[in-house]
Amino acid sequence: MRRVGGLTPVDALGFLTIFSYGSWFYGFGVLVDDVAAAFGMSVGALGVVYGVTTLCGGLAAVFAARHLDRHGARNMLAFVGPIAAITYGLSSFASSAWLYCVLFPVSGAAISATGFYSLTQPLAMSLRPGEHVRAITRLTIWGAFSSPITIPLTEFLRGTVGWRNSVRISSGLLVVAYVVAARSTRDVTVARSSASASIRAALSGVSKSKFLRLYAAGVLVSSMSVSSLLVFQVSVMRWAGLSAALAATFAGGRGLLQLLGRLPLVPIVDRFGVWKVQIACRSAIGLGAIALAFSGSIPFAVGYIVIIGASAGALSAIDGMVAREILPTKDFATLASVLGLIGTVGSALGPIVVGLLVQASNTLGVVPVVVVATGISAPVIQILGARSRSRN
């Protein structure tokens, strides 16, 4: 392991996190209207493409993590990642909708698998054995700056040089990030012989555990709760009485306030333990949804962004820490990415279910109700799983 340009290896992974999430993941929301106009597509159709990309990224992450368990990160960071970033850049040259709708999902899924937390968190933990809490906290503090940096940057580029050049510049920055991360982690070694022979074998070793099955169910429900909240937060704030401008401002502030949950995380975990902190953060999602329901009042809106900013921000790190403690070390990256895939499915299902309920009830007031219910259910499921573990 070595420093590159003054960055520690974990810092280099944080740099990668900023620009991988900032590429297609955050960039889509900024560029979607321009892309739709360029190809004569509806925003709804592009939303489907985005959803497919997200799910494919979750699947690809399992195989990337499997490679990490067996062979280390070099091939993912030095070859697959840069090629994915270049392919993302090539999507800006597409002259037809069908070509764009091929290049975008392929590149986005590969970027997800090689630059998102599903790979960078396990790798950060391997860089600092015995200090995984500090490694993940440091990495996710970097990650908290992704949307505040890349969303305004993408919007500036879109307005000045157009959406196509914006994608190309984002692609170039991401290539640099992969190269820096690859060089910084090039000395990482793994015990190839210790990992299970296949993904199926790795899963079969843990699937019999009632505790882990219930924990996975908690991940699914928690992801449904968080994604539903974030997708509909601006709409609910406007329904509650805020202006569109204020609602957008508060929603943006929530993203930055993730740092409230990450900066003090090490001493909090040292005092209370990762399990209790995770249960508290998941429970807080339900509390935040109550505040959202009354966010037409400024104090409640402030309460919402503080509660959800801190709890959701902490969860990104805490989930990885808990996974480290409950999953077998030899297949850790693979199994952690499977949990991530379950979370991705939950993130996709949540807004769909809530959207159907909003349509059926004809009121956005149903959103906080569903989020409170799922937000409370997730820690309850988790506690039931812990009890089943203690009895065995």
Inter-residue contact 199 to 30 (CB < 8 Å): no
Structural domains in the chain, sorted by start = 9-190 (1.20.1250.20), 199-391 (1.20.1250.20)
**pLDDT value of position 221:** 93
192, pLDDT greater than 70? no
Distance, in Å, from the CA atom of 285 to the CA atom of 301, rounded to the nearest integer, reads 14
Partnered with residue 7 across adjacent β-strands are 4
5, pLDDT greater than 60? no
How many Cα atoms sit within 13 Å of 19 on the Cβ side? 26
Percent of the chain with pLDDT over 90: 38
Highest mean pLDDT among 162-171, 208-217, 240-249, 376-385: 162-171
**pLDDT value of position 227:** 84
**pLDDT value of position 298:** 93
88, pLDDT greater than 80? yes
pLDDT band at residue 147 under the 50/70/90 scheme: confident
362, pLDDT greater than 60? yes
Distance, in Å, from the CA atom of 48 to the CA atom of 55, rounded to the nearest integer, reads 11
Residue in 365, 108, 54, 107 with CA at minimum distance from that of residue 223: 54
SS3 242: coil
Question: Range with the lowest mean pLDDT among 199-208, 212-221, 352-361?
Answer: 199-208
Distance, in Å, from the CA atom of 169 to the CA atom of 307, rounded to the nearest integer, reads 35
Top pLDDT among 261 and 245 is at: 261
363, pLDDT greater than 50? yes
**pLDDT value of position 193:** 47
Segment 104-122, tens digit of pLDDT: 999 999 999 999 998 999 8
Mean pLDDT of 23-35: 86
**pLDDT value of position 1:** 46
133, pLDDT greater than 90? no
Longest distance between any two alpha carbons in the chain, whole Å? 62
Highest mean pLDDT among 64-73, 77-86, 254-263, 344-353: 77-86
Joined together, the tokens standing for residue 243 give: 């202006």
Mean pLDDT of 317-342: 86
Give the distance from CA 356 to its chain's centroid. Answer: 24
**pLDDT value of position 54:** 87
| Residue 208 buriedness (CB in 10 A; 0-12 / 13-18 / 19+) | exposed
User: 4 — phi, psi (to 5°)?
Assistant: -125, 115
Distances from the Cα of 173 to the Cα of 11, 121, 164, 186, 256, angstroms: 16, 21, 15, 20, 22
Distances from the Cα of 233 to the Cα of 203, 225, 254, 289, angstroms: 36, 12, 10, 9
Segment 194-211, tens digit of pLDDT: 666 677 777 876 777 888
pLDDT band at residue 188 under the 50/70/90 scheme: low
Inter-residue contact 330 to 195 (CB < 8 Å): yes
Top pLDDT among 271 and 189 is at: 271
Top pLDDT among 6 and 86 is at: 86
Residue located via tokens 């799910």 = 55
